[in-house]
Amino acid sequence: MPTVHTVVDSPVGPLTLVAVDGALTGLYMDRQRHRPPEERFGEPDDAPFGPVIEQLAEYFAGQRSEFDVPTALTGTPFQRTVWAALCEIPYGETVSYGELAERIGRPSASRAVGLANGKNPISIIVPCHRVVGSTGNLTGYGGGLDRKQHLLDFERSNSAHTQPALAFEY
């Protein structure tokens, strides 16, 4: 199946959604570190993105805390393990890179966890913004620290009002 994409507006700027065979393979912010070249996004086509766009709108309206759209994450087994663990971080909460490394059974791999976190191809939906430094300080975020702070502040302010949606599944 061909790769297709669309661009949607959001409170953190335009988001490029990429899909193959109806499964989301990318959600990229403009000027995002590790953003693939535009030519890899395929042809413009809004058709496969209806549920993703709807769920992102609900998220940014404070009405959704988890996503249940089909995804196809491509990465190493270690990266996929880290990305799966990201989805277990509750809405409105944060963990450190070290805590995440412990959660996946690799307590000495906090730097590798950070690298895998930075390569997450589906930002927001796979919530890499919920990982912070060991002191609680914001550290690297592919979309920029200002966006990371915005997402964390947004989730914290809405966490008491947001009803959990269906769990994210691979």
Q: What is the pLDDT of residues 56-91, one digit of tens each?
A: 999 999 999 999 999 999 999 999 999 999 999 999
CA distances from 87 to 21, 68, 123, 160 (A): 22, 11, 11, 19
User: What pLDDT is stored for residue 31 in this prediction?
Assistant: 85
Position 170 pLDDT exceeds 70:
no
Q: Which residue has the tokens 């700027």?
A: 13
Q: Which CATH number applies to 77-158? A: 1.10.10.10
The confidence band for 160, taking pLDDT boundaries of 50, 70 and 90, is low
Position 52 pLDDT exceeds 80:
yes
Please identify which of the residues 69, 95, 128, 132 carries the catalytic annotation.
128
User: What pLDDT is stored for residue 112 in this prediction?
Assistant: 96
Class of domain 3-60: alpha beta
- Chain mean pLDDT for the chain: 90
User: What pLDDT is stored for residue 141 in this prediction?
Assistant: 77
The mean pLDDT value for 98-110 works out to 96
The model's pTM: 0.88
User: What pLDDT is stored for residue 169 in this prediction?
Assistant: 42
- Domain locations along the chain: 3-60, 77-158
Name which of 111, 118, 113 is nearest 141 in CA terms: 118
The mean pLDDT value for 127-143 works out to 84
Q: Please confirm, yes or no, whether 128 is among the known catalytic residues.
A: yes
The mean pLDDT value for 32-42 works out to 90
Q: Which residue has the tokens 């912070």?
A: 132
